[in-house]
Amino acid sequence: MSTAQVPPRWFVRSAWVVHRFLYRVTGGRLGLWQPRKGWGALRLTTVGRRTGEPRSVILGYLEDGSDLVTLAMNGWGPAEPAWWLNLQANPDATVEMVGLRRPVRGHAATGEERERLWARWREVDTKLDAYAALRPSETAVVVLTPR
């Protein structure tokens, strides 16, 4: 297994801030993209589990038929990402992609489905297993199904 080195947390968080800023100031013209080299970027809006308010995040995704697949990795940090905790509390959400907005329902892939989808992500990032090993718990493979 290859070793993986994650950038410092301040760098990862700064990149997220800049990405969201570009999306916001361009009215969504920048920041999202259709899959290229295997993956794309979408905007997921969940309902805050504590506030009940909409919470949005930009995530990488793969297409799997009509489903969209992402990883609950939190920049490979140890904590679960807030969007994943929100989605577990209320699985109904909305995704925005280039030229498309649709309601989805999220769930964690398990068993064979998880293995198959993890293997697809591994094709995109050959260091996936090494990055995942940096986390104290298994990284959820999250499936967003149209509703």
Strand-pair category, 33-36 with 39-47: antiparallel
pLDDT given at position 77 = 83
Per the CB < 8 A criterion, the answer to whether 23 and 15 are in contact is no
CA 60 to chain centre: 5
pLDDT given at position 45 = 97
From residue 98, alpha-carbon distances to 105, 128, 145 in Å are: 19, 26, 17
Backbone torsions φ then ψ of 32, nearest 5 degrees: -115, 145
Q: Could you state, in order of their start, the residue ranges of all structural domains in the chain?
A: 40-146
pLDDT given at position 88 = 98
Measured distance CA(143)–CA(67) in Å, rounded: 7
pTM, two decimal places: 0.88
Residue position matching structure tokens 């068993």: 111
Full pLDDT tens readout for the chain, 147 residues: 446 777 777 777 777 677 777 888 877 777 899 998 889 999 999 999 999 999 999 999 999 999 999 999 988 788 999 999 999 999 999 999 998 999 999 999 999 999 999 999 999 999 999 989 989 999 999 999 999
CA nearest 106: which of 62, 147, 52? 147
User: CATH number of the domain at 40-146, out of 2.60.40.10, 2.30.29.30, 2.40.240.10, 2.30.110.10?
Assistant: 2.30.110.10
Question: How many Cβ atoms are within 10 Å of 121's Cβ, its own excluded?
Answer: 21
pLDDT given at position 1 = 44
Question: How many Cβ atoms are within 10 Å of 104's Cβ, its own excluded?
Answer: 21
